[in-house]
Amino acid sequence: MSRALGCVLLALLEAGCAAHRAPDTDVASAASSGSAGPSSLSSVPGEEGLSPSSTTGSVAEAKTRSLEQTTSELVEETDRDLKAVLRTAATEPSAENERRVADAYRKAGILDLSYEHFSQAIRLDPRDGWAYEGRARIWRDWGFPAQGLGDAHRAAYFLHDAPEALNTLGTLLYAQGQRSEARQFFERALRKEPDAVYALNNLCYAALMDGDIGGARTVCERAVAIEPRSTAARNNLALVTMAEGDVAGATRAFAESASPAALQYNLGLVYLGSGRYAEAAAAFENAVRLNPTLPFVDERLKQARLLAGGKDARR
């Protein structure tokens, strides 16, 4: 079961298998914010995200995909917060104001322009740790975590091992398969901030993927106790329930916090992880019908259909 989880369950919608918190940003769930906001060990790049499969293509192609998602000119005209920070950065140039612009673009899902403004912040202040941390998250969200490691290490250095920076570094390491090292950084973040739900969620998920189901439950339950309304924490706990073999219990848990489309997607992941491939395909088809724009759903549907062509693993 844990191997199957590791292969497919990095992409919970309205969940996020963990939440990274950027400075001045609340922890949010993966699907609820797309590629904006904090990120996690989910496959949705953004508030909250590591990809369930390796990303292919060039950096230029990744940036092109980012531009295709959102027309920056339209957002700049309609997003009042973005317009305000752009105006302030133009009249009062500073690293902090450039970071605010970068954060606003990231929230809007325009990662290439967010990256450019984080870079401008660094040009204005080469010791701006939060700008390095922001760029590291963007590299991860683009699917190139190795490219962001330098920025992540600089962020931890200049921010004197701030828990958010340690957590971000952990997510990049995890994205490259360095699970043991990633867990160490999540644990270091928690020593700095014991109630950091974003780090607890990441540690929970990492423990689950390592087969430490008991440890994962302990950490997940602690995250839910600290932040009961956290969708990411509740869905992580549902993953633990599934790993324990209680598919019905996991299904009920997902149903409590997901939209209809996201529920079907999450159910598809549950079935996929438990080897019930035909049921997974049906659930992903329902998700597409309810919301064709859900991230990764087409990829998961193709995967389920391919696997369903053989024999279900549960038989």
- Does the residue 115 lie in any domain? yes
Q: Which residues contact 139 (CB under 8 A, 6 or more apart)?
A: 145, 147, 148, 151, 172
- Does the residue 145 lie in any domain? yes
Distance CA 308, CA 312 (A): 7
Please tell me the predicted confidence (pLDDT) of residue 272. Answer: 81
- Does the residue 44 lie in any domain? yes
Please tell me the predicted confidence (pLDDT) of residue 15. Answer: 33
Q: Where are the alpha helices (DSSP H) in 125-196?
A: 129-142, 145-158, 163-175, 179-192
- Does the residue 63 lie in any domain? yes
Number of domains in the chain: 1
Residue 149: count of CB within 10 angstroms of its CB: 18
- Does the residue 266 lie in any domain? no
- Does the residue 165 lie in any domain? yes
Q: What is the pLDDT of residues 226-240, one digit of tens each?
A: 999 888 898 889 889
- Does the residue 291 lie in any domain? no
Residue with tokens 């690293």: 95
- Does the residue 31 lie in any domain? yes
Please tell me the predicted confidence (pLDDT) of residue 224. Answer: 94
> Containing domain of residue 93, as a range?
2-258
Domain holding 160: CATH number?
1.25.40.10
Residue with tokens 């305000």: 84
Q: What pTM was computed for the model?
A: 0.72
Distance CA 245, CA 129 (A): 43
Q: What is the mean pLDDT of each run of 10 residues along the chain (315 residues)?
A: 44 37 32 34 33 40 50 65 89 95 90 95 97 96 94 97 96 93 96 96 90 93 94 87 85 79 83 84 94 84 87 46
Please tell me the predicted confidence (pLDDT) of residue 47. Answer: 30
Closest residue by Cα to residue 237 from 200, 262, 275: 200
